[in-house]
Amino acid sequence: MNIVVLTGSPHKKGTSALLADEFVRGAKQAGHKVLRFDAAFEKVKPCKACDHCRRHNGECTHNDAMEDLNPGLIGADLVVFVTPLYYFGMTAQLKRVVDRFYAINAALRSAPKRAMLLATGADDEAPAMEALVGHYRAICRYLGWKDAGAVLALGVGVRKDIEQTAFPQQAYELGASL
């Protein structure tokens, strides 16, 4: 299976990076091919809504890392969104990537895919993730992608918090179970 993992945190050794690391470890052990795209460390410009892509068969006027990512995204069987909660949603770094899906909507919608969500947040009350999960589900519905699972790690503000929980193991098992 071809898997694309999109991460959104600016922390290379943060809480959500650990979930991504463990998921990727499990998925690779299970024999899958993983393309990881750490959005915070890539050059991705925000969509400027010029609609050039609508008039030019998906071609974007931006010349950046999305050019490398797009073929992997289109060919993926599974797309995994990994983000810390930022004001109840995904980070701007990851949202920039999602907005750029716009140029290749048709290709993304025509190839059946599964999706997963791995998220972390400092709050420890379940409603903290509601808006993020709602947004993720709306994206899946719009693109015709099937939700295939999630790890929602609440109560983890920093790396040492999450290291003491079962969430990394859950992320590993999600990857290994594919």
Ligand X SMILES: Cc1cc2nc3c(=O)[nH]c(=O)nc-3n(C[C@H](O)[C@H](O)[C@H](O)COP(=O)(O)O)c2cc1C
Which residues bind to ligand X, rule: CB under 6 A? 9, 11, 14-17, 84-88, 120-123, 128, 156-157
Element (H, E) at 7: strand 2-7
Determine the distance from the C-alpha atom of residue 174 to the mean position of all C-alpha atoms in its chain, rounded to a whole number.
15
Instruction: Write down the least CB distance from residue 86 to ligand X, Å.
Output: 4
User: In this complex, which beta carbon is closest to ligand X, that of residue 103 or of residue 156?
Assistant: 156
Longest dimension (CA), the chain: 51
Instruction: Write down the least CB distance from residue 163 to ligand X, Å.
Output: 12
Give the residue among 177, 175, 153, 176 at the shortest CA–CA distance from 5: 175
How many angstroms separate the CA atoms of 73 and 136, rounded?
Answer: 16
Instruction: Write down the least CB distance from residue 123 to ligand X, Å.
Output: 3
User: In this complex, which beta carbon is closest to ligand X, that of residue 121 or of residue 168?
Assistant: 121
User: In this complex, which beta carbon is closest to ligand X, that of residue 14 or of residue 26?
Assistant: 14
CB distance 69 to 97 below 8 Å:
yes
User: In this complex, which beta carbon is closest to ligand X, that of residue 109 or of residue 135?
Assistant: 135
